[in-house]
Chain A
């Protein structure tokens, strides 16, 4: 009997990069987060080979969820081909053997920053969002201990103060991202990286969403078929960005969230933010057999 017989063979790293105890802790916290939708769960954010602020929170959740049969898609500001997205995707596949994809419909695990894909996610898919600031109360309550107590008491009155001041200053609510939303009628969360356009996609969605902040060491979840209601005044309805009438100058699709591209003549052109949707539309136009799935928005209106 020797040590070698009793232990596993030496490996250069654990499966999925994180060690077993880290993944165990994350799994427990993810289950808790699902059990209490929208409630922030603290976790010991581990070191990953990436700087804080680049998606370490999302990466840890994704690494924990990976298995060899996973198909991963990584989105950075809607694009699959940016340096950050490409690096994370190849890292994920390298440490787990999971397949890579750009296609929303083919992916089983989607890590994203800033966007939820325009194509409807289906049951069984998991969306992981990288969150910079998980605390919706931070603008109105700088003391985090008190903020936590406010969450416990569901004392959210002050959050309308942010909306109030937006209307007072700009005449309309212009929260570009992180629009505070009530999850399951109990906890207010900040869907921090995504624009207003994407918030309604979380409401009663079929897929599971995790939101994880690596630097702040908090994760929370929106389980499938959970109510997500953006906070509104009774006399000022919630409005998404005015992108319904815009057309992408490259792919020709319209009625989706667009990026504004400044032009030399001082004007601007628009390009669909979900880049693979644009690619699919171009391929379709060229006669290839790409299929665009059902989308959340149709003709610029939420379906």
Chain B
């Protein structure tokens, strides 16, 4: 197992899958670099996520973890890099797709939950309408079906159904995140991206939302990528962890390995600061 771990910033990342993985990875990202002017946001980042696993990405603010997630959601294009999802009828580098194909792919195959619900939700529309919007973009035109599928998605994210027609702006932060989650899973995506999903929630609500996420993950065997600066969240959720710093991946491995036996100096600091 040690052979696939990367230690130190100078060593190149080994993409060999862990020995026990028998299926090919769902998400393959290779050599992604992105500069914004003089700022290097991502430097030769590679990532893998296997079907049904939860990949955690940790790092301090500005380490490039959110940028990486935006790339995975095709909201931004890197300067160089390759991104593939092992899905039927989806071949080649996804960064090469045109706007239409991108939009359709993001709407139907990838779900995302943002840290700030204002980014992911239409605040002045109803919660069920927010979920319905996703279905509408995918082409659903039957009112009864929109209603039923919206209800199912909200139920799966443990949203109280008697409030499904309330506007998100009237709801608490935890509820807003549940609406975002329902919207993200409404079309049963292959990949669910979570950008600091519980940051800004108080500890008890945070636990409830994480609980929901875990249950969803177990029931639907959905592949998740979760970004957080909170090691507690990563430790609860993630099977494998990538540690990022200054736009590079400094260490990656199974979460137990990372948390019990951190190798890189920065990871050691991070784990030490938390525990």
A interface with B by C-beta (< 8 Å): 140, 153, 155, 157-158, 160-161, 164-165, 167-169, 233-236
Q: Is B144 located at the chain interface by the 8 A CB criterion?
A: yes
Which A residues lie within 8 Å of B100 (CB)?
153
User: B136 touching A157 by the CB < 8 A rule?
Assistant: yes
User: B136 touching A160 by the CB < 8 A rule?
Assistant: yes
User: B165 touching A140 by the CB < 8 A rule?
Assistant: no
Which A residues lie within 8 Å of B137 (CB)?
155, 157-158
Which chain A residue has the least Cβ–Cβ distance from B144? A235
Which B residues lie within 8 Å of A153 (CB)?
99-100, 103
Report the bound CA distance from A144 to B144 in whole Å. Answer: 31
A164 to chain B, nearest CB (A): 5
Task: Decide if the interface of chain B is mainly helix, strand, loop or mixed.
Answer: helix
Which chain B residue has the least Cβ–Cβ distance from A236? B143
Instruction: Tell which of A157, A158, A168, A234 touches B126, judged by Cβ atoms closer than 8 Å.
Output: A168
User: A233 touching B133 by the CB < 8 A rule?
Assistant: no
Instruction: Tell which of B99, B103, B133, B141 touches A158, judged by Cβ atoms closer than 8 Å.
Output: B133
15 pairs from A and B in contact (CB 8 Å cutoff): A157-B136, A157-B139, A160-B132, A161-B132, A161-B133, A161-B136, A164-B129, A164-B132, A164-B136, A164-B146, A168-B126, A233-B142, A233-B143, A234-B141, A234-B142
B65 to chain A, nearest CB (A): 26
User: A161 touching B165 by the CB < 8 A rule?
Assistant: no
Instruction: Tell which of A155, A168, A235 touches B142, judged by Cβ atoms closer than 8 Å.
Output: A235
User: A165 touching B136 by the CB < 8 A rule?
Assistant: no
Instruction: Tell which of B99, B128, B133, B144 touches A168, judged by Cβ atoms closer than 8 Å.
Output: B128
Which chain B residue has the least Cβ–Cβ distance from A163? B143
Q: Is B125 located at the chain interface by the 8 A CB criterion?
A: yes
Which A residues lie within 8 Å of B254 (CB)?
none
Which A residues lie within 8 Å of B128 (CB)?
168
User: A140 touching B143 by the CB < 8 A rule?
Assistant: no
Which chain A residue has the least Cβ–Cβ distance from B167? A165
Which chain B residue has the least Cβ–Cβ distance from A140? B122
User: A165 touching B142 by the CB < 8 A rule?
Assistant: no
User: A164 touching B143 by the CB < 8 A rule?
Assistant: yes
Within 8 A of A (CB), among B115-156: 122, 125-126, 128-129, 132-133, 136-139, 141-147
1/0 per residue B168-209: CB within 8 Å of A?
A: 000000000000000000000000000000000000000000
Which B residues lie within 8 Å of A167 (CB)?
143
User: A165 touching B144 by the CB < 8 A rule?
Assistant: no
Which B residues lie within 8 Å of A169 (CB)?
165
Which B residues lie within 8 Å of A233 (CB)?
141-143, 146
Report the bound CA distance from A153 to B101 in whole Å. Answer: 11
B66 to chain A, nearest CB (A): 21
B169 to chain A, nearest CB (A): 14
Report the bound CA distance from A158 to B133 in whole Å. Answer: 6
A217 to chain B, nearest CB (A): 26
B186 to chain A, nearest CB (A): 13
Report the bound CA distance from A140 to B136 in whole Å. Answer: 13
User: A168 touching B165 by the CB < 8 A rule?
Assistant: yes
User: B136 touching A155 by the CB < 8 A rule?
Assistant: no
Which B residues lie within 8 Å of A164 (CB)?
129, 132, 136, 143, 146
The listed residue with most A CB atoms (<10 A of its CB), out of B126, B141, B147, B165, is: B141
Within 8 A of A (CB), among B212-235: none
A125 to chain B, nearest CB (A): 35
Report the bound CA distance from A157 to B139 in whole Å. Answer: 7
Which A residues lie within 8 Å of B143 (CB)?
164, 167, 233-236
User: B136 touching A158 by the CB < 8 A rule?
Assistant: yes
Report the bound CA distance from A88 to B145 in whole Å. Answer: 49
Report the bound CA distance from A153 to B107 in whole Å. Answer: 15
Which chain A residue has the least Cβ–Cβ distance from B99? A153
User: B139 touching A161 by the CB < 8 A rule?
Assistant: no
Report the bound CA distance from A168 to B103 in whole Å. Answer: 27
Closest 4 pairs (CB-CB, A-B): A157-B136, A157-B137, A233-B143, A234-B142
Report the bound CA distance from A167 to B100 in whole Å. Answer: 30
Which A residues lie within 8 Å of B126 (CB)?
165, 168
A35 to chain B, nearest CB (A): 24
B161 to chain A, nearest CB (A): 13
Which chain B residue has the least Cβ–Cβ distance from A156? B136
Report the bound CA distance from A236 to B141 in whole Å. Answer: 10
Report the bound CA distance from A122 to B234 in whole Å. Answer: 70
Report the bound CA distance from A169 to B166 in whole Å. Answer: 10
Which B residues lie within 8 Å of A140 (CB)?
122, 125
Which chain A residue has the least Cβ–Cβ distance from B141? A234
Report the bound CA distance from A161 to B130 in whole Å. Answer: 8
User: B141 touching A165 by the CB < 8 A rule?
Assistant: no
Q: 19 new A-B pairs (CB below 8 Å) besides A157-B138, A158-B137?
A: A153-B100, A153-B103, A157-B137, A160-B132, A161-B122, A161-B125, A161-B129, A161-B133, A161-B136, A164-B136, A167-B143, A168-B128, A168-B147, A168-B165, A169-B165, A234-B141, A234-B142, A235-B142, A235-B145
